[in-house]
Amino acid sequence: MKYRTIGTDSTTRREVSVLALGAMLFGSVTDEKTSFAILDRYVEAGGTFIDTSNNYAFWTDGSQGGQSEELLGRWRRSRGIGEEIVIATKLGARPLAPGTSYDGNAEGLSAMTIRESAERSRERLGVDKIDLLYAHIEDRTVPLGNTVEGFGELVAEGTVGLLGVSNHAIWRVERARALAAAAGVAGYEVLQYQHSHLRPRFDMPESIFEDGSLGHAGAELLSYLRAEPGLTLVAYSPLLGGAYTREDKPVPPDYDHPGTPARMAVLRQVANESGASVNQVVLAWQIGGRFPVIPLAGASSVAQLEENLAAVDLELTEEQRVRLDAVH
């Protein structure tokens, strides 16, 4: 396994594995025995960065979520897992009532909600301190200063380590960070957005966001991150839910455009040259790029996890990277 540091403050920064494990469906679609086996193998291989949310996976059974956090709590206790494993969770998108969607009905990001939801997440995870806590989706009904204050208080109290943000417009991320700096409190240091080798269109609105661009790491976000080297990009859905390799999984609609076949062709060429799978090339391209990304990949079996783990040691040549970067 390889590692990198997230965060800049000497008291809160953490070293994490360059491949993060997504636990979204653990305890719901993925049963407990399988989930524990995946988690055990990930840790055995040196993995130290696990991702969940307080609303995972509400859509599977009409609940408000929490199944993934609860399973991770049971796994931690049964395995004696301590501070060596960084568990990140999110809040803000938990439905207000069972059987509802978070689209227009989310708990939000008021300081009071942040405190209450973080406490419930700590209880489900069985931890005294949340290693990394994200603002999951935007809440424009609450003054941004109130949100910043709510997160900052938890870090100051020691119940949260690092702060992150996901699926927010970049101008709001920057404004929140500026407000935090002015107030002398902790601000967002880890940004979690969808990022892969295939590129999406940005003119296709998605119902869960105010506009289709908020969930994707587009040119503006990447430019911002290059200008702020202290920030880290964690890329969710790097393998597009299996669309790179499974015939029964077509690419999402926003990736179905004339530029996709050319990028797929280069991925397949590099995979053939390397003796690797297309999935492994995508992950290796992210991990080892000039602008490094931490891919956040889920797995529903140990076999899927093994394929992902092998990508950590896949060394792409400079010429291969040039081709992968240059294709339009």
Higher pLDDT, 219 or 306: 306
**Number of CB atoms found within 10 A of residue 31's CB:** 14
Torsion of CA 36, 38, 43, 48, to 10 degrees: -100
Tell whether domain 3-326 is in CATH 3.20.20.100: yes
Q: Are strands 160-166 and 188-194 parallel, antiparallel or unpaired?
A: parallel
d(CA 209, CA 228): 25
Task: Map residue 192 onto helix, strand or coil.
Answer: strand
- For 101-112, write each residue's pLDDT tens digit: 887 889 999 999
Model pLDDT, residue 179? 98
Best CA proximity match to 308, nearest among 39, 19, 58, 16: 19
Amino acid, single-letter form, for residue 204: M
Which residues are paired to 165 by β-bridges?
135, 191
Pick from 68, 83, 65, 81: nearest CA to 35: 68
Give percent of the chain with pLDDT exceeding 70.
97
Strands 3-6 and 160-166: unpaired
Confidence of residue 254 (pLDDT cuts 50, 70, 90): confident
Q: What is the pLDDT of residue 212?
A: 42
Q: Is 122 helix (H, G, I), strand (E, B) or coil?
A: helix
Mean pLDDT of 201-221: 67
How open is the CA angle 77-81-84, to the nearest 5 degrees?
155
- Could you report the per-residue pLDDT of 24-38, keeping only the tens digit for each? 999 999 999 999 999
pLDDT tens digit sequence for 2-13 = 999 999 988 899
Residue 154 CA neighbour count, 13 Å, CB half: 31
Residue 23 has pLDDT above 80, yes or no: yes
pTM above 0.75, yes or no: yes
117 close to 54: Cβ distance less than 8 angstroms: yes
Give the three-state DSSP class for 182. helix
Query: Which among 35, 40, 34, 3 has a CA at the least distance from the CA of 20?
Result: 3
**Contacting residues for 242 by C-beta, under 8 A, at least 6 apart:** 249
- Whether 213 has a pLDDT exceeding 60, the answer reads no
